[in-house]
Amino acid sequence: MKLSVIIPAYNASRFITKSYNSILNQNIENFEIIYVDNNSSDNTLEEIQKLSETDNRVSWYVQKTQGAGPTRNKGLEHAKGNYLYFFDVDDEIYPNALNKMIHVLDHHPDIEAVFGKMMKSDKGISETPKPPDETDQLIIKPRPFWGLQWFSSLKTVVGPPAFLYRKEVFDKIGGYNEALRIGQDTAVDIKLGMTCNVAFLDTYIYLYFKHTTSTIEQFKEKTPRAALQWPRFVKEHLPFYLENKHEIEFGEKFRRQLYHILGKQIIHKKGLTKRFAFKNQLLSEIKSIKPPLLLRIYLSFLALFPFSSVLKFYSYYLVPYIVKK
């Protein structure tokens, strides 16, 4: 089989038919659509079952473990296609986008994954003008170029529906980290870019539909950014840093960002006792890299004096000095 399209679904009954048509409208041959229901409390599963009864290219599974990571991994487990595409049920794909990415992998056997652009909007494709800045140019950079770029700036990261992968990629890098509630897709992107041959297609692939009912958007609004990033660093980037050979540049970027997030979390904790306890907890989570004594001393100072000026000195002067040394 050529292509497996994996679509996680949680309380998404109103998007099921739309997502199905979005794939059909790509005019692809030899494909399957795998829906994975993640404990929906509405009639999402019933809507999926209706499609599977009329189209044998549609199959469905249920993932009882809550979260995007386990749900995508369930689809990955059952995928039969040589190429894999993860689609979010409430998003939309631009016309012919999948065929363009398939063409890249068909004609460049050394490329393991290809990605394009995404557009964000609270409206659909038909109501959102597409920027006139796509060229359809294929840009190939040696690894770990894309991994370093995504790791350095989350602004350059695009969502899973912007990627098309060869199935073997996940044998190489593993699946989605199920220990992460958020950021598991970013973790996969960075590991992919660090270890695989990835190409960029200067084309808009999909529209990311922003809506207030999104579970992820609601979670992001309630949680400080540093707290969102910390689990990804500890549970994904730290093991990668310790277990793999990598560029010196990655090691420096990793330590700089890790220490920065560490200090930022401490300063926002309320109460002196809680700040010191939290500092010790965070340090215990990264004890495998043995943060230097000077850093640990200053973190105690930061817990004593949680002022923005103290954090600024820590982030802009102390951390770069320690990483450089």
Domain identity same for 232 and 288: yes
Domain identity same for 85 and 196: yes
**Residue range 214-239: mean pLDDT, rounded:** 82
Q: Cα(144)–Cα(36) distance, rounded to whole angstroms?
A: 32
CATH at residue 202: 3.90.550.10
Low-confidence winner among 44-48, 153-157, 158-162, 217-221 (lowest mean pLDDT): 217-221
pLDDT for 217 equals 60
Domain identity same for 16 and 101: yes
pLDDT for 247 equals 77
**Cα–Cα distance list, 314 to 209, 253, 309, 321 (Å):** 38, 16, 9, 10
pLDDT for 325 equals 81
Domain identity same for 213 and 227: no
Domain identity same for 194 and 317: no
Domain identity same for 146 and 177: yes
pLDDT for 245 equals 81
Query: What is the total count of domains within the chain?
Result: 2
SS3 for 33? Answer: strand
pLDDT for 192 equals 97
pLDDT at residue 53 tops 90: yes
SS3 for 158? Answer: coil
Domain identity same for 248 and 162: no
Q: Looking at 195, 217, 239, which one is the last position of a domain?
A: 217
Domain that holds residue 94: 3-217
Please answer whether residues 282 and 296 qualify as being in contact, where contact means their C-beta atoms are separated by less than 8 angstroms.
no
pLDDT at residue 212 tops 70: no
Question: Residue 248: pLDDT band by 50, 70, 90 thresholds?
Answer: confident
pLDDT for 82 equals 98
Buried b (16+ CB within 10 A) or exposed e, 148-172: bebbeeeeebbbbbbbbbbbebbee
